[in-house]
Amino acid sequence: MRFMLTGRRMGKTTKMIEWFKEDPANRMIVTFSEQEAHRISKEYGIPQRKVVSARKDALGGRREVRGIDNVDIILAQMFGPEIDLMTATDGSSDV
């Protein structure tokens, strides 16, 4: 797992699009809202079924590898803006 942490308008979504286009048959993008999913799909020419909001019902049982755009917004929507610390495992160890 890779984690990109930058300021606003510093290319996070662009990097996500580049990542997606490396293997579009097996990847999908998860974003923070239906509106953002629609914008990304339209602006970058990605099929709408490959760009979804973070709602659980939007993901269903799909098996594509997921790239999550603006995870801070998604987590704030899920848990509120009071998140003070986030950690993640990089996937290099056996869990």
DSSP string, the chain: -------TTSSHHHHHHHHHHHSTTSEEEEES-HHHHHHHHHHHT--GGGEEES-HHHHTT--SEEEESSHHHHHHHHH-TT--------S-S--
Q: pLDDT-based confidence at 95, cuts 50/70/90?
A: very low
Note the pLDDT tens digit of each residue in 39-68. 999 999 999 999 988 876 666 666 677 788
Question: Is pLDDT larger for residue 43 or for residue 69?
Answer: 43
Question: Is pLDDT larger for residue 77 or for residue 39?
Answer: 39
Find the domain containing 48 and state its range: 18-57+69-79
Domain count across the chain: 1
pTM above the 0.75 mark? no
**Average pLDDT, rounded, for the chain:** 80
Is there a domain that residue 75 lies in? yes
Is there a domain that residue 41 lies in? yes
